[in-house]
Amino acid sequence: MKTWKVLLVDDEVEFVSTLAERLGLRDLHVDVANSGEQALSQIEADPPSVVVLDVMMPGMSGFAVLERIKSMHPDIEVILLTGMGAANEGMAGLRQGAFDYLVKPLDLEELIQKIGEAMKKSAGRTRKHDGQ
C-alpha cells in the first residue's frame, strides 16, 4: 500500500521547513529536500505522490529535476513554485509535464488545494495501473 506523501523541494531551508510544518499541521505527510540531487535520491528511496518543486535553485535547477522525475516516475505529479512575474517559466514547466505552477509568496490554501487535485490525479492513474 502506497503512502500519500508530498515532497517539498527548495534550497531555502527556513521556507521549506516552515511550510512542511504547516502542511503537517493540516494532516499531510510531508518530506523535505534542500536540493535537486537530494530530492532525486529521496524519490528513488521512497517515491512520493506529489512533489512541490522550486524552479530557482542553485546547482540542479527545478526544470532539470522535473525532467528527471517525469522520465523516471511519470506517475508523480509535480507542482512548480516560480518567482513572481515569471509566467513564462510556469508555462514552460507545464509543457514539460508539470501539474501546475504557483507563484511565491504562496497562498497556503491554494497550495493545499492544488496538492489535493494532484493527488487525485495521481491516485486515479495509479488505480488504472493497479487495475491492469
Q: Which residues bind other proteins (CB under 8 A)?
A: 12, 14-15, 18-19, 21-22, 25, 56, 83-86, 104-106, 108
> Under a CB-based contact definition with an 8 Å cutoff, are residues 42 and 53 in contact?
no
State in angstroms the smallest separation of the CB of 61 from other proteins.
14
Q: Please, what is the end-to-end C-alpha distance for the chain in angstroms?
A: 16
Cβ-based nearer residue to other proteins, 60 or 123: 60
Burial group, residue 30, by CB count within 10 angstroms (0-12, 13-18, 19+): buried
- What the block records as the C-alpha cell of 81 is 513554485
Q: How far is CA 80 from CA 1, 85, 128, 131, in A?
A: 27, 14, 25, 30
Cβ-based nearer residue to other proteins, 56 or 64: 56
Cβ-based nearer residue to other proteins, 14 or 130: 14
Q: Which residues, at least 6 apart from 92, have a Cβ–Cβ distance to it below 8 Å?
A: 63
State in angstroms the smallest separation of the CB of 36 from other proteins.
17
State in angstroms the smallest separation of the CB of 46 from other proteins.
24
Cβ-based nearer residue to other proteins, 85 or 131: 85
Cβ-based nearer residue to other proteins, 1 or 84: 84
State in angstroms the smallest separation of the CB of 21 from other proteins.
6
C-alpha–C-alpha distance, residues 130 and 105, integer Å = 38
State in angstroms the smallest separation of the CB of 129 from other proteins.
34
